[in-house]
Each structure stands twice: as C-alpha cells, then as structure tokens.
Structure 1
Amino acid sequence: MNLVIFDVDGTLIDSQHMIVSAMERAFGAQSRPVPSRDRILSIVGLSLETAMGVLCPEEPDEIAVELASAYKAAFFELRHSPEHHEPMFPGAIEALDRLAEREDLVLGIATGKSQRGVRAILDLHDLHGRFATIQTADLHPSKPDPSMVLTACAEVGVLPQHAVMIGDTSYDMEMGRAAGASAIGVSWGYHAAESLKATGATALIRHFDELDAALANCFAETATA
C-alpha cells in the first residue's frame, strides 16, 4: 500500500484570489503596508503566524499573532461573500477520482489550512470521503517540519518511504523529504519550478494528466531501493 498526500492551496485549489484579498484586508485592518502579491503568494503553505513573521520579519511576535487573527477574520468574511472564489485546478477532481479507485493507494491531505478551512473546501467541492488522513496547520508545526507527513503515514499504516508528497511550494518538497517520503512538484502553483527542484522534487508535473506516470516512477524507485 502506498500513500499519496496532497497539499491544498496552489495544488488542488486555486485560492490565490482569496488569500491575497484576505491579506490585504488583514494588513489594512492593522494599518500596515500591504506586502506585494508575489510576497504574499511566496508564503502560501506556511502556518499563519509563521507566514506573518516572514512577511514582517522586523516586527515582534505579537504583531504576527494580531495579523494572523485579522487574516482569519477576513478570510471567514470572504468565504461567505459573493467574492468567494476557490476553484479546483483543471484535472484535479479527475485525478482524485482515478487514484481513489486504485486498491494499492490511499489518499491524504497535508495543508497550511486549518481544520475549518479544509472542511469548507471539502464541502465546496464535494470531496468528502476521498481522503483517509487529513493533517492541518492548527494541529502541527508549520511546514517544512515533517510532522504532518509522518502523522499521516502513521494514521494509515504506511512507512514514509512508501509515501509521496504532492505540492506546489518548496515547503512541501522539504517537508516530504524530511519525513523520508518522495516529493512531486506541480508547476501551476505559487513557487517556481526551479525552487521545487532545488528543494528535492523527485519529479515536476505540468498537468494532472502527468501525475499517474510520476507516481508510478516514484513507487518503482521505492520498490527497488
């Protein structure tokens, strides 16, 4: 049995509009200069307080806590407004359906979202029942700490070397590698392909149609290791 773990934002879900809008509201509410769009997207995947610390490195920790709280409030408001826009990337649902039918795989999630955030995405896109394990930022240290991957493996009874982390950021690649798993990067997310390769991506895919072959290669390498 092998475990395939997906990141959410930037991998399955195109949430950049919501993330940037919530950041703009959060920084505005605290009367602070709003970071550029590129800087905001560069921290997607990190736990909120860690992300705010990266965006405001000169500020004391309590500022990061305040900004994180303001971001949560802003995101909650946006999710219940006409501006809510978190579509799945092309081919994502079809890929999940294909993999869910296989008897040699179980699927999981490891995300910088909170439990509440993941539940909202599962509700929005009717994804309940597809994932055997779901690990969120409010239960673990921030990526790239390997805690989420290791816990996911333990929950489904799979050794890390039989797991693959799929994500769009260097944090995902580093987390997977730190846990002893393989890592597949996706090119349509929020970090550059060069960054994914430099941080340990076993493979880089340009569309979900390429995922099955990339997984086959990863598992073949594991079987012969």
Structure 2
Amino acid sequence: MSELQKGIEYMQNHQFEEAAQAFNDYIEQNPNDPVGFINFANLLVHLQEYDSAERFYQKALELEEQLPAAHYGLGNMYYEKEQYEQATKHFQDAMKQGLDDQDIYFMLGMSLLNQEMPKLSLPYMQRASELSKEDVDIQFQYGLTLAYANMIDEAFEQMNVVLALDEGHSDAYYNKGVCLLYQERPEDALDQFEKAIKIQPDHLLAGNGKKQVEQLLQERDS
C-alpha cells in the first residue's frame, strides 16, 4: 500500500495526524505528482486550515494546469467559507476541464442558489437530481430551487418525490404546505404543517405556519 493510499485510509478513519504524515511522506517521495498535494489539501479543508489548503491546491495546479480535482477542491473550500462567487468559478472550471458527476452539478447549483440566483441554479440542480435519484438531500434541494424559482407546482411534486424516498422528511411536508398556501389551499396547507409537526414537534417554521393558517381560517369563517 502506497503512502497515498495509507493517507486516504487514515483520513477515512478520522486519524488525521497519521493521514497528514502519510500525505507528507508521499509528497516527499513524489514531488511532481499533483495528486499528493490535492489529497493533503482535502485533509486541510476538513480541518478548516483553509490558507494552507489553498497553497496545496495551487501547488497542484502549478504542476498540472488541467486538474479538475484541484478546482473542485478549491470550490468546496470556498463554499465552506461561504464565498460562493469564488466557489462558483472553481466549480465551473472543474466542469470545463471534464468533471461530470452529480457532485459537481449539485455543488455548482448550491453555490448559485446561495447567491440568490435560483434560475441559473436550476439546470444544475435538475441534472444532479437526474444523476442521484435516491439521494434525499439532492432531491430536496432541487425542490427548494424550484420553489425559489417560483415554479410552485413543480416544487410541490418534487417534495412528493422526496417523501417517496423518506416518508419522515418533516421539511418536505412543511414545504408542501408553503406551496399549497401559494396555491390558495389553506386547509390542505394546514394538514401538511401538522404532518411536519407530528414528525418533528419542535419544527418552528411548521409551527408558525400552522398558527398563521389557523388564524387566517378563523378570520375567514368569522
């Protein structure tokens, strides 16, 4: 087993000190291989040592310009730092250089969504959902993106997709309730809020939604 493989295994087992030593040894033995620098940088991001991580990613890119994994790593680092514009740039660079899987589409979509650009985010989130049909989080975030893009009917149906995967997803019930309010169906919305609260009694948004709808119905019927 190479030092690189050892480092990855140590990292997976949360033995971070040992992982750092293994990656360092690999880099000393293979100073012109960018993969060692990328893996060490990934570890540093996990440890929130962002400045050092950035230096390692940049060193990898100095060794090899076309390196989508380095751009993806930089994108993740900036995303964690909530610097979404920079994250978007690096995710786009990774995609231009050939990275094509659900993670890159999802992270690019989330970066755009966090910049309040749901319509730009939408095609990436849709593609991520197509590639990860069983991933509850991706399916849910795609539903939220549809809602933020004012595609209320589609968002409602997407929340049903989420609930088919996880019938105990309280946030999906809450968001169905919000969609139903937009559709001017307060009684049905109330039912969804109550389902969310039954699953998660401390769901503040659902609790607040329930109170507001009950007040609305009371005023309407008085």
TM norm structure 2: 0.28
Bigger fraction of residues in helix? 2
Which structure has more strand as a fraction of its residues? 1
TM-score (norm 1): 0.28
Q: Which has the higher contact order (CA 8 A, sep 6+)?
A: 1
